[in-house]
Chains A and B, each alone.
Chain A
């Protein structure tokens, strides 16, 4: 067991090097952050960096980011869960074909379909609206469908069959039997998709260029690009840390769904 703790801690720290780098760098002075060899910890922590980075944000920007990220999640959940359930549990002739259709478009690099996506959104008259930002990303639901489907597939067949024999409709089976068991998949989906949507940059920028719809990543762009010579790289790192906090929070909350712990693997 001690060995396992040790392994988790050591490998975890190795994986987390960039985070430590960000945290320590975000508190350094402009001179210290570009010093070589880099100092492990800031000699004097400079909290002003965070205040400087915060200047780039407004409450509106933060709210926009949450609207966008949660909007994408809600839209995708609403359309993906029934679809995933159908693909996993309902006998249907075209299941195989649909799975193929869901995967294939992703083998084309996304930046080439970006302009056509814009044209479609423009045709629908959705530019400079929240709907225009959210729906096109919400519609790209392959990850959600596939994730929930593979989770539903592993649910024992007896469970759904019994309910069907009792006369429950498919919708009842989905809402009262399958959904309550989907916690871990839901936690995984929400953390991954929140991260993806939260970090999205180019789409919100093109779909809603007006300042009223600006999201956090777009607002912090002057920090991230490093091209503004008058901004210290330490402030840029502070901005990155601020942007990361909500994501970290979602990950923390989602942890409570992974409760099982395979004690039986004997690795303990």
Chain B
């Protein structure tokens, strides 16, 4: 356990943390030459994902090796926390030990792409490295998440599944609260609020009408599509600015801020709802959630009667949102062809996509998969096919540059708190939020 620390080693270590040398000692982004095509046959690749997805990916890896006995995929997963995951990738990069394939997520995607961590998959895909699949076989809007802003022709990741939102309804709660009318595909947001109030008032607060749709003020899955439906752009790449406090956006905020109080719960700054106030507690009538929650709800709401309904429309436009984690290939990977080969199998309707639906109840991000997949047969919810529709109409537009996302959320949460806790006018609060975000956007672009 002891280490011999020679003077030179000590100095090197000291320098490693010291000013100039620290910078040089491995934080650099100079292109690594280790990356290359490699060979597919007899390949061993490492796939790094988050722990939540680890069990599923282990099953994919198993099925893959079963079909191609000379190829193995080692699945590694150690964390779910975004900061920890980012640190893990960054440190792995410093010690030159990045995996071949890695989990990617919207807020990191731009940073990883900018710093040459992730490989641009577009050339490989058009060379046919995904087998018979071309990029047109994927649901375009989900791939769009991994096209760097301003470089639309590049693809730095492929979506793992096509998760989109719907209105989840717990009929058991409606019954218990004595509310006989149920939400339908043609209900408006205001109709839903009215039903939620009835549940709340009829049951004297024992049941909640709705899980708070905005969370603590900035649930992008909800505010994104609603604001877009009212006509806001949210983020415009060409002018590098937001209109999140403009007239159209304000209509959206007015609607969404109305949901606190007796529609859902009084406003709370907590980032996550209390367990008892979540849809999966069985005390809550409705919730806007993503299809990714379906498998979990099957366990939590066992014995209750629950289903999904399409999201309400505003101005004739669906307010369904969505998004997906991604899989990316490392630029440093010496096994890029083997990684592509795994992806080719993974997205094949008879390969990984089949396993994904069987073991993970995932909704495939391919057009073929979403149309004819086995996922459509698995109930509850009875109406699960709703997600086929919403995945293809989901509003994923108006995303901010990845690094900006958390500052945008921060500004929006502040605005919501000013309105709800300090009675500031919506116009003023969101006007200021817009100004704050625009200032930061200008600063960030001035930097680089």
Binding site for B on A (CB under 8 A): 30-31, 34-38, 71, 75, 111, 114-116, 118-120, 122-124, 126-127, 130-131, 134-135, 201-202, 205-206, 209, 211, 214, 218, 221-222, 225, 227-230, 232-233
Contact = CB atoms under 8 A, between A and B. Distances in A.
B26 A119 contact: yes
B445 interface: no
A211 B76 contact: yes
Contact of B90 (A115, A202, A221, A233): A115
Among A30, A114, A116, A222, residue most surrounded by chain B Cβ atoms (within 10 Å): A222
Contact of B296 (A38, A202, A229): A229
A119 B94 contact: yes
Contacts of B22: 116, 119
Contacts of B91: 115, 118, 206
Secondary structure dominating the interface of B? helix
B52 A122 contact: no
A116 B13 CA distance: 10
Among A118, A135, A233, residue most surrounded by chain B Cβ atoms (within 10 Å): A118
Contact of A232 (B26, B77, B299): B299
7 contacts: A120-B13, A123-B16, A124-B13, A209-B78, A222-B52, A225-B79, A227-B51
A111 B95 CA distance: 19
Interface string B297-320: 101111100000000000000000
A31 B76 CA distance: 31
Given A30-B302, A211-B76, A202 B282 contact: no
Contacts of A115: 87, 90-91
Given A123-B25, A206-B88, A34 B276 contact: yes
A122 B52 CA distance: 28
A36 B78 contact: no
Given A31-B282, A134-B1, A218-B78, A225 B299 contact: no
A225 B275 contact: no
Interface residues of B, number: 51
Nearest to B284: A36
A253 to B, nearest CB: 24
B397 interface: no
Contacts of B51: 221-222, 225, 227-228
B9 interface: yes
Given A31-B303, A225-B51, A205 B26 contact: no
A110 to B, nearest CB: 12
B292 interface: yes
Given A71-B1, A118-B94, A225-B80, A205 B88 contact: yes
A77 to B, nearest CB: 13
B280 A34 contact: yes
B68 to A, nearest CB: 22
Nearest to B279: A34
B55 interface: yes
A73 to B, nearest CB: 12
Among B9, B91, B277, B283, residue most surrounded by chain A Cβ atoms (within 10 Å): B91
Contacts of B132: none
Contact of A209 (B12, B80, B97, B299): B97
A114 B86 CA distance: 13
A10 to B, nearest CB: 27
Contact of B3 (A116, A124, A209): A124
B385 to A, nearest CB: 20
B278 interface: yes
B281 interface: yes
Contacts of A123: 9, 12-13, 16, 25
Interface string B72-94: 00001111110110011011101
B64 to A, nearest CB: 19
Given A118-B94, A120-B16, A35 B281 contact: yes
Interface in B38-93: 50-52, 54-55, 76-81, 83-84, 87-88, 90-92
